[in-house]
Amino acid sequence: MYHDFTIGIPDAKGKITIKKKGGSSFVLFEYGRVYDPARKFNIPKRAIIGKVSDEDASLMQPNENYQIHFPAAVLPEERSEAYRSCCLRIGAYLVIDKVAREYGLPAMLGKHLGKDGGLLLDLACFSIISEDNAAQW
């Protein structure tokens, strides 16, 4: 899955290849070679690390392979307007939030935890939605 931001295509001489497929261009990173004695040449090992941007050919949208092969690269931080976890399913969250508000849980937690009461409700909601918490049974 590609990120929703663009970064510059890395400058690694001899390691970066652009390959067109369909209507898109992909950035491939060569991370190794394997010698084939039968055919007597090296076979490159490559991974797709991003997709070339449609607006600017010097930029790309990275994917998870980019972070594997370029761990020291600094990626833009998460957007400030996103204040809820992308893992929460909004429909289930709205139902749980409505129930919590009817019982007055935000006000009760706010007295004891301050503004962190909302985080506790988010964690409880995530736990219920993801069904990973054995305590809910």
Angle between helices 117-130 and 105-113 (to 10 degrees): 130
Quote the pLDDT of residue 89: 58
Name the CA dihedral angle for 63, 68, 73, 74, rounded to a multiple of 10 degrees.
60
Tokens standing for 11? 């400058």
70-101 pLDDT, tens digit each: 888 888 765 555 445 555 457 777 888 888 88
Q: 101 lies in which domain range?
A: 90-136
In whole angstroms, how far apart are CA 133 and each of 36, 64, 119, 122, 136? 50, 27, 17, 14, 6
pLDDT tens for the chain, 137 residues long, are 788 889 999 988 889 999 999 899 999 999 999 999 999 999 999 999 999 999 999 999 999 999 899 888 888 765 555 445 555 457 777 888 888 889 888 888 888 888 777 777 777 777 777 765 555 45
Same domain, 16 and 59: yes
Same domain, 12 and 60: yes
39 inside domain? yes
1 inside domain? no
81 inside domain? no
Quote the pLDDT of residue 30: 95
Over the chain, what is the mean pLDDT?
Answer: 82
Nearest in space to 5 (alpha carbons), one of 47, 56, 60: 60
115 inside domain? yes
Quote the pLDDT of residue 111: 85
32 inside domain? yes
20 inside domain? yes
Instruction: Count how many domains the chain has.
Output: 2
77 inside domain? no
On the 0-12 / 13-18 / 19+ scale of CB atoms within 10 A, 49 is: buried
